[in-house]
């Protein structure tokens, strides 16, 4: 007969102390109210049981990834890599506990032991080897701009435009970087790119738990910025934005960062960009977690869409702005392979389509890739477009 284990026999103070050292703050403040679990995007998935409210208690007892049983350990690793870092739970906790930072501490521990999903090991390896998660050569990073006359950044230019790895290399998402460059050129903005001197910002691998490779790429980028006297960086990915704005200052470097939606909104307001061609479609805007909830940028992308003639802007009722539901691509989720009926993106695609929209608008390359691929796999042909692509259709 299978005997249930006593919790007292499983307590592991060494793991608890290691988790605390790796950033699992606030674990003793949890009083198991369960409010966090109700907002987690895994909750409406329904087919996957993910009781995140247990995590702080398990961390306080050192019961994370501590089993010596192979199957139990594999289940623990799977659980720890389910969190997509959307931070919906952070807003709900009455005691200010940051659940994703506890998951991240657990991941740092697993990465140190080499016990994490193979697919993510491959992502981390590619970023270490060639500076991007797709494994393409550095020299091809600026291929998206080849026929656009985008100059190499020089000291004195106003902006470094840092197109993220996905919009630099992915054949579909490259069109976002091309739209951004075209609009900036038309508005007469002084900007350049650093081509193969750029490396992945490292946001995703830091959240996967690979602190060492994150530091490598972050230092490579900050050295390149310093070498080229970069003072302002313009990004189209909210993940690069959050990394540059919230993580890089720990390295003691100073530069300003702007998300493209903020800059485009300002350029439209000042009259430097004039959207004049009709885009007569119903467009629903999906708030990316890393832009909205994590950096409080909600109105700038909506302002861009509202400025376009003929466009009718829709919202997902109840689940917009800070209550937007994650697409599932953050914290390594973009590369994870979960069962078809176990995908957060499926829930979000259904919510977005149910608004009656003709187009889904995003302001993040991860959301673009995740929502587009998921919608297709569910048999929907609704286009998913970045706000820059929609604006380009109206003003170029
Ligand atoms: S960050 Fe998001 S996915 Fe992770 S536990 Fe919190 S609500 Fe769930
Ligand atoms: S909401 Fe906060 S206090 Fe309540 S169970 Fe979750 S982490 Fe614990």
Tell me, what's the pLDDT at 47? 83
Q: Beta 282-285 vs 359-362: how paired, if at all?
A: parallel
Mean pLDDT throughout 186-213?
98
Would you say residue 48 has pLDDT above 60? yes
36 lines ligand 2 (CB under 6 A): yes
Q: What is the pTM of this model?
A: 0.95
More confident residue, 72 or 241: 241
Q: Whose CA is nearest to atom 2 of ligand 1?
A: 86
Give the model confidence (pLDDT) of 334-372 as tens digits. Answer: 999 988 888 999 999 999 999 999 999 999 999 999 999
327 lines ligand 1 (CB under 6 A): no
Would you say residue 56 has pLDDT above 90? yes
Q: Is residue 355 a contact partner of residue 316, using CB atoms and an 8 Å limit?
A: yes
Residue ranges, comma separated, of all CATH 1.10.1060.10 domains in the chain are 7-116
Fold that domain 274-395 belongs to in CATH? Rossmann fold (3.40.50)
Confidence of residue 7 (pLDDT cuts 50, 70, 90): confident
Distance 279 CA to ligand 2 centre (A): 45
At 292 the three-state DSSP class reads: coil
CB-neighbour burial class of residue 269 (10 A; exposed 0-12, middle 13-18, buried 19+): exposed
Backbone angles phi, psi at 54, to 5 degrees: -75, -20
Residue ranges, comma separated, of all CATH 3.40.50.10700 domains in the chain are 274-395
Give the model confidence (pLDDT) of 163-177 as tens digits. Answer: 999 999 999 999 999
Distance CA 336, CA 82 (A): 9
* Smallest-distance ligand from the CA of 33: 2
> What average pLDDT does the chain have?
95
Tell me, what's the pLDDT at 3? 64
Q: Whose CA is nearest to atom 1 of ligand 2?
A: 93
Confidence of residue 8 (pLDDT cuts 50, 70, 90): confident
24 lines ligand 2 (CB under 6 A): no
Would you say residue 4 has pLDDT above 80? no
Distance 41 CA to ligand 1 centre (A): 7
53 lines ligand 1 (CB under 6 A): no
Across 19-46, b (16+ Cβ under 10 Å) vs e yields bbebebebbeebeeeeebbebbbbbebe
Tell me, what's the pLDDT at 391? 98
31 lines ligand 2 (CB under 6 A): yes
* Smallest-distance ligand from the CA of 60: 2
* Smallest-distance ligand from the CA of 36: 2
Q: Of 61-70, 90-99, 121-130, 364-373, which range is least confident?
A: 61-70
Distance 52 CA to ligand 2 centre (A): 9
Distance 27 CA to ligand 2 centre (A): 9
Tell me, what's the pLDDT at 65? 84
CA-31 nearest atom, ligand 2 = 3
Give the model confidence (pLDDT) of 286-323 as tens digits. Answer: 999 999 999 999 999 999 999 999 999 999 999 999 99
Distance CA 84, CA 100 (A): 8
Fold that domain 7-116 belongs to in CATH? Fumarate Reductase Iron-sulfur Protein; Chain B, domain 2 (1.10.1060)
Give the model confidence (pLDDT) of 171-194 as tens digits. Answer: 999 999 999 999 999 999 999 999
């Amino acid at each position: 007969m299978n005997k249930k284990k006593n919790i007292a026999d499983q307590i592991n103070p060494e793991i608890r102390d290691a988790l605390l050292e790796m950033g699992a703050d606030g674990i003793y403040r949890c009083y198991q109210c369960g409010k966090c679990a109700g907002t987690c995007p895994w909750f409406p998935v329904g087919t996957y049981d993910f009781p995140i409210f247990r995590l702080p208690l398990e961390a306080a007892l050192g019961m994370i990834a501590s089993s010596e049983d192979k199957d139990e350990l594999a289940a623990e690793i799977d659980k720890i890599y389910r969190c997509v870092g959307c931070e919906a739970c952070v807003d709900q906790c009455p005691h200010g506990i940051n659940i994703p930072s506890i998951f991240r501490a657990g991941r740092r521990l697993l990465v140190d032991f080499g016990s994490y999903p193979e697919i993510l090991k491959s992502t981390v390896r590619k970023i270490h080897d060639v500076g991007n998660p797709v494994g393409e050569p550095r020299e091809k990073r600026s291929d998206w701009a080849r026929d656009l006359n985008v100059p190499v950044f020089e000291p004195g230019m106003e902006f470094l435009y840092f197109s993220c790895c996905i919009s630099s290399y992915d054949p579909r998402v490259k069109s976002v970087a091309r739209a951004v460059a075209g609009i900036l050129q038309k508005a007469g903005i002084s900007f350049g790119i650093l081509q193969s001197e750029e490396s992945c910002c490292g946001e995703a691998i830091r959240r996967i738990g690979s602190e060492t490779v994150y530091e490598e790429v972050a230092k490579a980028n900050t050295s390149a910025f310093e070498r080229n006297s970069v003072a302002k960086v313009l990004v189209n990915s909210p993940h690069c934005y959050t990394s540059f704005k919230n993580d890089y200052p720990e390295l003691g470097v100073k530069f300003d960062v702007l998300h493209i939606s903020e800059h485009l909104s300002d350029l439209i307001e000042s009259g430097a960009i004039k959207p004049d061609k009709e885009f007569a479609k119903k467009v629903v805007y999906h708030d990316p977690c890393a832009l909205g909830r994590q950096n409080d940028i909600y109105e700038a992308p909506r302002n861009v869409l509202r400025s376009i003639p003929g466009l009718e802007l829709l919202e997902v009722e109840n689940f917009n702005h800070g209550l937007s539901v994650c697409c599932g691509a953050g914290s390594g989720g973009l590369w994870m392979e979960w069962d078809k009926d176990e995908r957060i993106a499926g829930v979000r695609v259904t919510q977005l389509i149910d608004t009656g929209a003709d187009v889904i608008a995003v302001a993040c390359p991860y959301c673009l890739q995740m929502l587009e691929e998921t919608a297709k796999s569910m048999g929907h042909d609704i286009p998913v477009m970045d706000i820059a692509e929609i604006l380009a259709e109206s003003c170029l």
